[in-house]
Amino acid sequence: MRTARRLASAAVAFALLGVFAAAAGAADPLPHHGVMAIDILLEPDAVMLQHAEANNARLLKAYPKGFALDAAHRPHITLVQRFVRTADLDALYAAVGKVFAATNVKAMKLEAFEYYYAPTGSTGVAGIVARPTPELLDLQRQVIAAAVPFTVETGTIAAFTAKHDDPATDAGLIDYVSTFVPKMTGEHFSPHVSIGVAPREVLDKMLAEPFEPFTFSPAGAAIYQLGPFGTAAKQLQEWR
In terms of DSSP H, where are the helices of 34-179? 46-62, 89-101, 134-147, 167-178
Mean pLDDT to the nearest integer, 123-136: 95
pTM above 0.75, yes or no: yes
CA-closest candidate to residue 124, choices 23, 1, 7, 2: 7
pLDDT bin (cut points 50, 70, 90) of residue 229 is low
Q: Is residue 146 part of a domain?
A: yes
pLDDT value for 164: 74
Reply yes or no on whether the pLDDT at 6 is more than 70: no
| DSSP helix/strand/coil, 156 | coil
At 34-83, the pLDDT tens digits run 999 999 999 999 999 999 999 999 999 999 998 888 776 788 999 999 99
Q: Is residue 112 part of a domain?
A: yes
Average pLDDT over residues 155-174: 87
23 vs 190, more confident: 190
CATH number of the structural domain spanning residue 219 = 3.90.1140.10
Structural domain of 210: 3-227
pLDDT of residue 32: 53
pLDDT at residue 224, as a whole number: 93
Residue 40 lies in a domain: yes
| CA 88 to mean position of chain CA atoms | 22
Asked if residue 232 belongs to a domain, the reply is no
Please state the rounded mean pLDDT for residues 94-109: 97
- Is residue 236 a part of any domain in this protein? no
> What phi and psi, each to the nearest 5 degrees, are found at residue 189?
-75, 130
Which pLDDT score, from 0 to 100, does residue 121 have? 85
pLDDT at residue number 67: 84
pLDDT-derived band at 28 (thresholds 50, 70, 90) equals very low
- Is residue 238 included in any domain, yes or no? no
Instruction: Give residue-wise pLDDT tens across range 191-220.
Output: 999 999 999 999 999 999 999 999 999 999
> CB neighbours of 238 closer than 8 A, spacing ≥ 6?
43, 220, 221, 222, 223
In a domain, 113, yes or no: yes
Instruction: Note whether residue 76 is domain-resident.
Output: yes
The conformation of residue 159, written as its DSSP 8-state character, comes to: G
How many domains would you assign to the chain? 1
Question: Does residue 137 have a pLDDT over 60?
Answer: yes
CA distance 173 to 160: 10
